[in-house]
Structure 1
Amino acid sequence: MAETEFRIPKISVPVVLNTTEKEKITAEIFLDYQSSESFTLEELSNFFNTDNPFLPIRSSAKNKTILLRRDSIVWIDLSQIKQQLLESTSMSLAYKREVVLHSQSAGALRATVILEMPADHSRVIDLLNLKRIFIPVLVEEKFALVNLHHIDQIEEL
């Protein structure tokens, strides 16, 4: 009896992963296909905030899928999809808070934290208490997810 191969439809999302080894990996991640060809910031965040220690990514340079240790990712550059994310309804309603992120590796970095949360939970501490590893930020013209394991201090402005 022949086995039937089942595949879950996926959406390809371009990202640039910045690692602890100061390496920039241009890659694609694959999100579960929902009801449209687009995706939300929450779906993107959920991919990286999973409990899995290794994440499957498709490396552009190697043209193959590799498993990357989640903790080795310092931040994820989402500039290629920034416009798509900023145009989403949830982003237009999101609260934004100015902060300075302090880390030993990068020093002080001024950023805007994106809070896709209800008004009564719209403080930076509310986002941090969700125990997510990656949080969405705007840094200058870049849209990114920052790994909190590499941040030593957050100063609200």
Structure 2
Amino acid sequence: MGATRRTSELKIPTMAVAVRLAVVGAAPSAVEMFVPDVPRRGLGHLLDDLAAQLAGDSRFLPVRTANRIRLLAKHAVAWVAVGRHDPPVHGGEPASDPGEELTLFDHQHFVEVELAHGGKLIGTLLDSAPADHSRVIDHLNRSGAWLRLWTTDQHYLINLAQVIAVTELGEVW
């Protein structure tokens, strides 16, 4: 049998996105995640692509740290954070207005998220559920494997498998 030859034509074009990533039991670190290199309209669409990658069927997540590629087990990732004010895309368009994502949701809940490794994150859960399903528990039970949390300067994607408790601190309006 002949040797198999790889060609670059089969690779999906990607772009690197600067994020902070916390692995269970370790301090958060700056890494780059990879998303498809497609046109996007603002930070909201980029966050959707990062969330889709985290929620996908693959068990490992490729990230670049110090010019090396590491393959991290998704179950060991506590959270991923993207700055809301800094352009997160390397070589891409600037980030959109930080308030852009806040205008599309009917309900805002100020919460504290307690993580299995002992850390806590405080921020806002945003939701557009019907009025009879607008509680924090409703949001948590339908959010999939990754929870989105907004703070004044970061957007977090939190692994729900690493969440011990969520405490409501009030409604934001």
Which TM-score tier does this pair reach, normalised by the shorter chain?
0.7 to 0.9
Which residue pairs with 1:33 in the alignment?
Answer: 37
Q: CA RMSD in A?
A: 3.0
Conserved 8 A contact 2:61-2:71: yes
Which residue pairs with 1:130 in the alignment?
Answer: 142
> How do residues 56-95 of structure 1 correspond to structure 2 at under 5 angstroms?
56-59=62-65, 61=66, 63-79=67-83, 80-81=86-87, 84=95, 87=98, 89-94=100-105, 95=107
Q: 1:67 to 1:37 in 2, by over 3 A?
A: farther
Conserved 8 A contact 2:14-2:35: yes
- Gap regions ≥5 residues in structure 1: none
Of the three residues 23, 28, 43, the one matched with 1:24 is 28
Per the normalisation by structure 2, the TM-score is: 0.70
Q: 1:122 to 1:30 in 2, by over 3 A?
A: farther
Structure with the greater alpha carbon radius of gyration: 2
Q: 1:97 to 1:84 in 2, by over 3 A?
A: farther
Conserved 8 A contact 1:45-1:135: no
Which residue pairs with 1:96 in the alignment?
Answer: 108
Matched pairs, number: 153
Q: Deviations over 1:44-93 (max 9, x none)?
A: 2111112322111112x2x1211101111112121245782654855431
- Gap regions ≥5 residues in structure 2: 89-93
Conserved 8 A contact 1:99-1:111: yes
Q: 1:131 to 1:51 in 2, by over 3 A?
A: farther
* Distance in 2 between residues matched to 1:118 and 1:102, nearest whole Å: 24
Which residue pairs with 1:7 in the alignment?
Answer: 11
